[in-house]
Amino acid sequence: MQIEAKAVKALREKTGAGMMDCKKALQEAGGDEEKAIVILREKGLAAAARRAGRVAAQGIVDSYIHLGGKIGVLVEVNCETDFVARNDEFREFVRNICLQVAASNPRYIDREEISLEELEKEREILRGQALREGKPEKVIERIVEGRIAKFYQENCLLEQPYVRDPDLTVRDLLSQLIAKIGENIVIRRYARFAVGEAADGEN
């Protein structure tokens, strides 16, 4: 069954589970979101499910300056209450996201921000590379999809390996904090600046 990306994204936001886990759960549930949430809960993957639908309108903006003023980062992370916004663990998480953005320079927060046009353009580039490498035609698409997965990992903040523990992704770190604190937490936007470069843009 074909599952739309927006359905996967909505389920991920409600449960905190990973993208592929959400997609598999929706496929297993025949596209029914409520059944998919039950499936994720049964598998222990829906750490944030009980916080579904809660609005994250509080939070903080934090900054980080690196290399003697050569790189600067601003990050906004939202939570549900001002109480959590003052929580030391929440603030440490925001600081760590600043460090992540400074070190890894993501272009997007999540893969859903990438336009279909840009994604198809990337696929065409990767197809061309694989053909120039002399890869057999029958495995080109599999190679392209593998490299697209790496593209996501390199360019999407939530899919990047966490700089302080590469065994975790940033999404894993976020899901752990949501489960521990008990509130919906959202990395809302960031901006990264480097001396001598144009601003990478606000996300």
Residue 91 has pLDDT above 50, yes or no: yes
The kind and range of the H/E element at 88 are helix 88-104
Rounded CA gap, 7 and 27, in Å? 11
Of 36-40, 41-45, 78-82, 179-183, the range with the lowest mean pLDDT is 41-45
The kind and range of the H/E element at 92 are helix 88-104
Interacting residues of 191 by C-beta distance below 8 A, sequence separation 6+: 73, 74, 199, 200, 201, 202, 203
Residue 47 has pLDDT above 70, yes or no: no
| Domains assigned to the chain | 5-51 (1.10.8.10), 58-109+156-194 (3.30.479.20), 115-155 (1.10.286.20)
Q: What is the pLDDT of residue 52?
A: 45
Q: What is the pLDDT of residue 53?
A: 54
Token pair in block for residue 163 = 């700089």
> Bigger pLDDT: 97 or 137?
97
* Percent of the chain clearing pLDDT 90 (strictly above): 47
